[in-house]
Structure 1
Amino acid sequence: MPVDRLLPNDEARDLIALARDIADKALAPRVDECERDETYPDGLFATLGEAGLLSLPYPEEWGGGGQPYEVYLQVLEELAARWAAVAVAVSVHSLSCHPLMAFGTEQQKSQWLPEMLGGTTIGAYSLSEPQAGSDAGALTCKAVAADDGYRITGEKAWITHGGIADFYNLFARTGTGSQGISCFLVPAGTPGLTFGKPEEKMGLHAVPTTAAHYDNALIPAERRIGEEGQGLQIAFSALDSGRLGIAAVAVGLAQAALDDAVAYSQERSTFGRKIIDHQGLGFLLADMAAAVDSARATYLDAARRRDAGLPYSRNASVAKLVATDAAMKVTTDAVQVLGGVGYTRDYRVERYMREAKITQIFEGTNQIQRLVISRDLAKQR
């Protein structure tokens, strides 16, 4: 059922209504088939781009929607409630635009940002490697300075939209230690850049996740974003925003599971009563609703801090931790509410449960979120 939202103005309310309409008409009718058959939803991201939903939190002067982050995240939640894989890809696209917007020169932004935000291209984020996931400082993909730019050699992993995206934010080693990593904006089709076969994932089947291989690929020097050695600062800055995106996706997924569980509990009867009227199950649904509402409030608090220009890194980690743990529990409980049929593919809740698991892992595992939070607490003392 639609969530009643506290929104700052009529424009935001109209935007949420538009997002719901598109989600109901363009996403919901295709999600089951594409996820079941593991087929990419051709044309869908173009539809989202034409509606302006791919660049909502960025300034209008560069082609963005000029929306507060709290509004953008609620749009993302609406998309996730219909199709988590698509919402994740939208969140990753927004994440991949952040380095250029925040650290690029005016010339770089003028050259590339309007196209990236204009709705006709989709971006991907390329930080992780096979042996460097949570420990981003351990990456080994190299960018060696040359007369004509940088020569990139190495492997990247876990790239959402890998092989399909139009541009990639690549983080590669230009020196030693944590200060020896730099950021590059790599266009698709770069000679020497190839992609592996899509990973065989537990969920999010419709949007591919791949590895990438760089074989002496030439990246012009003008495509380095920020200074040499600034890469981890750029990456972590982007991840603060990206974690809020995943929190919103997790809440949308949990809301969908709750809605399906409530609907089923009002239709199914045992011992002469609807199962929602049995206190044991009614209390379970109440706990699910409390978890969803609490998680939503947590990501909105962090987003409002971001919009106000306040520090929000710890709050983003709290939101990601709380929302994704809630999504895992709520989707698991939804399967329990439906009983045996919940364990079959005849109902969506089994897919929701599989999809929720990855939200606890990417954009920094929830163990990493706890590390970020505890370090911030120690710093305050």
Structure 2
Amino acid sequence: MGVDFELTAEQKKLKYQTREFAREVLRPAAEMADAQPDPQEAFRAMKPVYEQAAAMGMHTMFLPKEYGGGGATNVNFLIAIEELCAIDPGFPTILLVNGLALMPLLWFGTDQQREKWIGRATADTRGDFLAGWAVSERGGTANFDHPSPRAGIQLTADHDRSRGQYVLNGEKHWPCNSGGWDLRGADVNLCIVRTDRAQGGKTGLSAILVERDTPGIEYEVIDKMAHRACQNVTMTFHGARVPEENLLAEGDGDLVINRNFTWSAPIASIAAVGVARGAYEFALKWSKTYTGGGSSPIINHQAVGNLLTEIAAKIEAGRYFCWKAAHYMDKFGDQGHALGGMNKTFCGDLMQSVVFDCMRVVGVNALDRKFPMDKFYREAAVFSLYDAGNLAMQRRRAWGVMADRSFSPDTFVDSEPLEFTKSMEGYGVITEIG
């Protein structure tokens, strides 16, 4: 039979090993980080956890074995991510962003760039190496492919040919990992830049690798209500100079963004499923012991039983959608743009309803911070906002694919390939009014 949802023995081993790590190593550190008032200190508190994860190969498990990575499939990476996110979704975001910074080198980079940066990442077994993904700016990422050069990405990279460098001026807002453990920068930041000031998003963008300790860059940590185990910063560039050999995907920075958020979509989706599952597991356990002042546990009440049944069904549906999206990308090299966008929006929105329903099961005690529902509720707010957002960019990406004449409603059912092209970009971008 072509459709099979049964985990292999290797996948089950990965699942339960990661679950043990999440419960025994991640949980206590994440609880301390979440309570830490200083956001940079919260991030630094995760360094020992990151070191242990690196020793297990988690920080590069998604990279090919030929470069020293773990060679994990997208499906296997999802299995591990769900277990981590059921405990805390902030820490695995650090791992995800390593991928967002390094995976584009496989698709668009030169041999020298791959050997240098992917090799450096996979050689690290101590847990020092960090990579950052810098695309979002103060105006957001949603309209990055706007046809006007005055809209979208405004971090400029001007070519100084006489010195063989690009000069960067502007700002990135919300990049993760980018400040590094000590605010001297991640080992490498992959930044989306405007290399042609006269062109719009589909033709004027490129990617560039910015190394740690590059002069002319300031990092300011953002104080967040959730995902406090990971770091987000504002990067400000004042004439920062980067070697010209660090440029990649010249004129195709738009495709870097779209392919990256396609790769990350099922990962962010399974992260949402993990948070939903964590809330559900607590609510289910609570319902089996809490009586609410009655004579028996509340799970024996029809309203509670029906609600828990709906919650469990949503989690199952979300998980299998994630597996489907990841399997499609394993087969076709991360080309499931529409499927990934639909997966991300569906699971992010689904998870918020699940967490809220779990709070209804727990009742007013969900507001008591000695129980974990407060944290699940705050973490749930993140998923419709990050990783290209649910309101605009992710849906626009799916829309652009579905509007193309090559798309069929059977494309994903039949697992047929569908390449993403520049003609699929730009849907929903307002160019004029009136």
Q: TM-score range by the shorter chain?
A: over 0.9
Distance in 2 between residues matched to 1:140 and 1:207, nearest whole Å: 25
Equivalent residue letter for 2:88: W
Task: Normalising by structure 1, report the TM-score.
Answer: 0.94
Moved more, 36-45 or 281-290: 36-45
Structure 1 residue aligned with 2:228: 205
Distance in 2 between residues matched to 1:378 and 1:309, nearest whole Å: 20
- Provide the secondary structure at the position in 1 that maps to 2:379: helix
Equivalent in 373, 379, 382 of residue 355 of structure 1:
379
Distance in 1 between residues matched to 2:32 and 2:179, nearest whole Å: 22
- Provide the secondary structure at the position in 2 that maps to 1:263: helix
Q: Could you list the per-position Cα deviations for residues 310-354 of structure 1 after superposition, in whole angstroms to 9, with x for gaps in the alignment?
A: 741111111111111111111111221111110121111111111
Which stretches in structure 2 are left out of the alignment for 5+ residues? 146-151, 181-185, 409-434
Distance in 2 between residues matched to 1:255 and 1:6, nearest whole Å: 19
Equivalent in 149, 156, 171 of residue 155 of structure 1:
171
Equivalent in 73, 78, 96 of residue 73 of structure 1:
78
- Provide the secondary structure at the position in 1 that maps to 2:382: helix
CA contact (8 A) 2:29 2:49 kept: no
CA contact (8 A) 2:75 2:326 kept: yes
Structure 2 residue aligned with 1:143: 157
Verify: 1:12 aligned to 2:11, yes or no. Answer: yes
Q: Could you list the per-position Cα deviations for residues 112-137 of structure 1 after superposition, in whole angstroms to 9, with x for gaps in the alignment?
A: 21112344412111001002421123
Structure 1 residue aligned with 2:306: 283
Verify: 1:109 aligned to 2:114, yes or no. Answer: yes
Structure 2 residue aligned with 1:183: 207
- Provide the secondary structure at the position in 1 that maps to 2:251: coil
Displacement after TM superposition at 1:14 (Å): 2.4
Distance in 2 between residues matched to 1:77 and 1:364, nearest whole Å: 20
Distance in 2 between residues matched to 1:163 and 1:204, nearest whole Å: 16
Moved more, 307-316 or 28-37: 307-316
Q: Could you list the per-position Cα deviations for residues 35-84 of structure 1 after superposition, in whole angstroms to 9, with x for gaps in the alignment?
A: 01242222221211110111222211101111111011110111111111
Aligned counterparts, 1:320-335, within 5 A: 320-335=344-359
Equivalent residue letter for 1:236: N
Structure 1 residue aligned with 2:397: 372
CA contact (8 A) 1:99 1:235 kept: no
Displacement after TM superposition at 1:367 (Å): 2.1
CA contact (8 A) 1:298 1:318 kept: no
Distance in 1 between residues matched to 2:139 and 2:69, nearest whole Å: 35
Distance in 1 between residues matched to 2:288 and 2:140, nearest whole Å: 47
Distance in 2 between residues matched to 1:67 and 1:324, nearest whole Å: 24
Distance in 1 between residues matched to 2:345 and 2:227, nearest whole Å: 20
Equivalent residue letter for 1:112: W
User: Higher helix share goes to which structure?
Assistant: 1
Structure 1 residue aligned with 2:239: 216
Distance in 1 between residues matched to 2:399 and 2:179, nearest whole Å: 37
Structure 1 residue aligned with 2:133: 125
Structure 1 residue aligned with 2:327: 304
- Provide the secondary structure at the position in 2 that maps to 1:269: coil
Task: Normalising by structure 2, report the TM-score.
Answer: 0.83
Distance in 1 between residues matched to 2:6 and 2:57, nearest whole Å: 22
Verify: 1:166 aligned to 2:187, yes or no. Answer: yes
Displacement after TM superposition at 1:168 (Å): 0.9
Distance in 2 between residues matched to 1:123 and 1:33, nearest whole Å: 24
Counting matched residue pairs gives: 374
Structure 2 residue aligned with 1:230: 252
Name the Cα RMSD after superposition.
1.6
Which stretches in structure 1 are left out of the alignment for 5+ residues? none
